Amino acid sequence: MANAFYDFAGQLRQLEQDGLYRRRRVVDGPQGVSVNTDGRELINFCSNDYLGLANHPQVIAAFKAGVDRYGAGSGSAHLICGHSSAHHALEEELAAFTGRERALLFSTGYMANLGVISALLGRSDTVLEDRLNHASLLDGGLLSRARFQRYRHADIEDLRAKLSSAVGKALVVSDGVFSMDGDLAPLPAMADLAEQHHAGLLIDDAHGFGVLGKNGGGIVEHFALTQDEVPILIGTLGKAFGTFGAFVAGSEDLIEMLIQKARSYVFTTALPAAAAEATRTSLRLLQAETWRREQLQNLIRRFRQGARQQGLQLMDSFTAIQPILIGDSGQAMAASRCLREQGFWVSAIRPPTVPAGSARLRITFAADHTEQQVDALLDALGRVLS
């Protein structure tokens, strides 16, 4: 008798029928606004390389120099022999950049969120998470084994009610910029509420760093908040920084606690030192080349104006993430395929990444897109979605 556990084929067929099957596409060459995939050159409107730094000559040169100095791999975990001078320098520079006492590198953003939340909470505590949080934040809350509650998206009153009944230590967890909607968490009100209830506040600003704020400091700089108001700040390096990895920034004691207790930090190999060297360069570029953020905002405004003129269903976002709500997963996939045939790579986002009935085209912009490319995308959207 066949073992039913291994009936993966049946499950895969069901995913296909539901319009939820996922396929990888092979990219040949560097990231950029134009990419070669499956033998075709496409204009890329689905990357998180918001400032166009992933293929920047200076970042690449820093990576190569890092390989020459440190080799291809780090060899071990940070707490054994994998913590290089490049890692240490980057942590100090990220702490200064975020206006915090210290920063700690993680190998990925997913690992940072899992490690930080599970290190700070236990069974007798409460974690409260925005309903639209990234999967890594939700998984971190579940892994902590704390009492897990989700509040309505960006709803301060619902968060207030749930905080009032929280048991043990309470930690409020939210994205800064929501990755599928592009809107911002109501951070000033959240910070006030956390202080009133003596709760912790953790913000993952993966999609805000580099994009928001005069100096690219993200949502915290955008709202002019401090370390005291947002004590636990997490960011990834694979988006606006254009490299790889993640970090958490906060107080001296917070970072020391995570070094002792964050299992996804303690028990994993450090990211290559060469990646840290590349990130040090991208951090300098991110701060110095303010035109990148200015250009990005100009492109976003141009797109939103054109999309409104066409009657497209935009979402409430002034960030580089500009979703167009479709609703049906099959229709979103069909629209993505049609755009691809016209030379544009735009991802269709479907459940479970977004709630059922809210499938969408997730369009993202980079500083090195041109106005002509934005206008061409708008023309294609008009043909596909009319």
- Give me the CATH number covering residue 200: 3.40.640.10
Q: Is the pLDDT of residue 176 over 80?
A: yes
Q: Is the pLDDT of residue 172 over 70?
A: yes
Question: Is residue 348 domain-shared with residue 237, that is, in the same domain?
Answer: no
Question: Is residue 66 domain-shared with residue 188, that is, in the same domain?
Answer: yes
Q: Is the pLDDT of residue 66 over 80?
A: yes
The average pLDDT across 112-135 equals 97
Q: Is the pLDDT of residue 2 over 80?
A: no
User: Residue 368 is part of a domain; what is its CATH number?
Assistant: 3.90.1150.10
Distance CA(154)–CA(174), nearest Å, equals 9
Q: How confident is the model at residue 3 (pLDDT cuts 50, 70, 90)?
A: confident
Question: Is residue 34 domain-shared with residue 70, that is, in the same domain?
Answer: no
Domain edge (last residue) among 247, 270, 288: 288
- What per-residue confidence (pLDDT) applies to 20? 85
Backbone angles phi, psi at 262, to 5 degrees: -80, 105
- Structural domain contains residue 2: no
3-state SS assignment for residue 202: strand
- Structural domain contains residue 13: no
- Structural domain contains residue 10: no
Q: Is the pLDDT of residue 130 over 70?
A: yes
Tally of structural domains, the chain: 2
Question: Is residue 313 domain-shared with residue 348, that is, in the same domain?
Answer: yes
Q: Which residue has the tokens 């570029």?
A: 285
Mean pLDDT of the chain: 96
% of residues, the chain, pLDDT over 70: 100
**Is 239 an active-site residue?**
yes
**End-to-end CA gap in the chain:** 52
Question: Is residue 312 domain-shared with residue 233, that is, in the same domain?
Answer: no
- Structural domain contains residue 29: yes
Domain extent at residue 226: 57-288
**Is 386 an active-site residue?**
no
Q: Is the pTM of this model over 0.85?
A: yes
- Structural domain contains residue 381: yes
- What per-residue confidence (pLDDT) applies to 236? 97
Domain edge (last residue) among 247, 264, 288: 288
% of residues, the chain, pLDDT over 90: 92
The average pLDDT across 323-349 equals 94
Catalytic residue from among 56, 87, 162, 239 = 239
Q: Is the pLDDT of residue 142 over 90?
A: yes
Domain edge (last residue) among 243, 259, 288: 288
Q: Prior bond to 352 cis, omega within 30?
A: yes
Catalytic residue from among 207, 329, 336, 369 = 207
- Structural domain contains residue 342: yes
- What per-residue confidence (pLDDT) applies to 287? 95
Distance CA(74)–CA(77), nearest Å, equals 8
Question: Is residue 34 domain-shared with residue 61, that is, in the same domain?
Answer: no
Contact 273, 70 (CB under 8 A): yes
Catalytic residue from among 74, 84, 136, 179 = 179
- Structural domain contains residue 121: yes
Question: Is residue 315 domain-shared with residue 209, that is, in the same domain?
Answer: no
Question: Is residue 281 domain-shared with residue 145, that is, in the same domain?
Answer: yes
Q: Is the pLDDT of residue 213 over 90?
A: yes
Q: How confident is the model at residue 252 (pLDDT cuts 50, 70, 90)?
A: very high
- Express each pLDDT in 7-58 by its tens digit: 899 999 999 888 888 888 899 989 999 999 988 999 999 999 999 999 999 9
**Is 64 an active-site residue?**
no
Q: Which residue has the tokens 């390389």?
A: 49
Question: Is residue 197 domain-shared with residue 263, that is, in the same domain?
Answer: yes
Q: Is the pLDDT of residue 1 over 70?
A: no
- Structural domain contains residue 315: yes
Question: Is residue 263 domain-shared with residue 325, that is, in the same domain?
Answer: no
